[in-house]
Amino acid sequence: MAKVVAVANQKGGVAKTTTVQCLGAALAERGRRVLMVDLDPQACLTYSFGFDPDTLDGSLHDVLVRRAKVADVTRAVVGIEGLSVVPATIDLAGAEVFLLTKTGREHVLARALQPVVGDYDMVLIDCPPSLGVLTINGLTAAEGVLIPLQCEALSHRGVGQLLETIDDVRAFANAELAVLGVVATMYDGRTRHSRHVLEEVESRYALSLIGPPVPKSVRFAEAPELGQSILQHAPESPGAEAYRVVATQLDELLSGVGMFPK
């Protein structure tokens, strides 16, 4: 049975989608079967793996409005065995409005994923940069949350707001939701500010850092245009190696609680 992990931060531009993409690719390299769910109407994860959101026949929108099942719209990622994506389109913005009118709206994604979680080792949910009903669905469906943190003050503030939302989700929808830790992204170790923000987040919120900080690199910007992650585009780059370590530590963390087969 898959471990379901939501990757979330209410602040945009913190490499949340990049983290999902790279962790999916790195876990697949380790032989895991991984399903990525693009829960963001901007469909950046979908685009980053070479799918055109404007030409897709089916997407997560169709699942959430009950026109299709997850298995019907899932696409295999070309060139990476064991990695698949549930794509998004801009129509997801309409799905959010649709969900607001429904009873039990926060559980729709969890129910939709239930038939397929046994087919994977991990499900990674790319939450949108907001705390709306789509993100609430992602957190309700997940067993753990991974928080990408850009090492700057505004991203730091977003972590505090996200943790408040996680407490709310625990109270009314998903009491077992765990915070797995922080992934430090776009890190510049030359600056005192980056180091200070990372240290403060660890101490103030008692959050564990998973893997090494992921360094800034132009390779991350180049990869999506090629429909690839940095692990395919620049496999020996420091950024690719950092995400491999993050994936290994996440894999070992989840295996340690019996969620993966040994």
Give pLDDT, residue 155.
Answer: 64
Give pLDDT, residue 30.
Answer: 95
pLDDT reading at 262 higher than 70? no
Give me the percent of the chain exceeding a pLDDT of 70: 95
User: For the whole prediction, is pTM greater than 0.85?
Assistant: yes
Under the banding of pLDDT at 50, 70 and 90, the label for residue 7 is very high
Average pLDDT, whole number, for the chain? 90
The domain spans of the chain are 3-254
Give pLDDT, residue 187.
Answer: 82
Residue 176 identity: E
pLDDT tens-place string over residues 60-119:
999 999 999 999 999 999 999 999 999 999 999 998 888 988 888 999 999 999 999 999
Q: How far apart are alpha carbons 31 and 27 in whole angstroms?
A: 7
Under the banding of pLDDT at 50, 70 and 90, the label for residue 1 is low
Token pair 């500010």 is at which residue? Answer: 193
Task: Tell me what the mean pLDDT of segment 22-49 comes to.
Answer: 96
Give pLDDT, residue 118.
Answer: 95
Q: What would the two tokens of residue 147 be?
A: 């928080």
Which comes out higher in pLDDT, residue 117 or 262? 117
Task: Tell me what the mean pLDDT of segment 192-211 comes to.
Answer: 81
Under the banding of pLDDT at 50, 70 and 90, the label for residue 128 is very high
Q: How far apart are alpha carbons 85 and 155 in whole angstroms?
A: 27
Rg, C-alpha atoms of the chain: 17
pLDDT reading at 16 higher than 70? yes
Q: How far apart are alpha carbons 234 and 241 in whole angstroms?
A: 10
Give pLDDT, residue 10.
Answer: 82
Regarding beta strands 75-76 and 83-86, do their DSSP bridges make them parallel or antiparallel, or are they unpaired? antiparallel
Q: How far apart are alpha carbons 195 and 26 in whole angstroms?
A: 26
Choose the most confident range, by mean pLDDT, from 134-138, 214-218, 231-235. Answer: 134-138
Q: Which CATH homologous superfamily contains domain 3-254?
A: P-loop containing nucleotide triphosphate hydrolases (3.40.50.300)
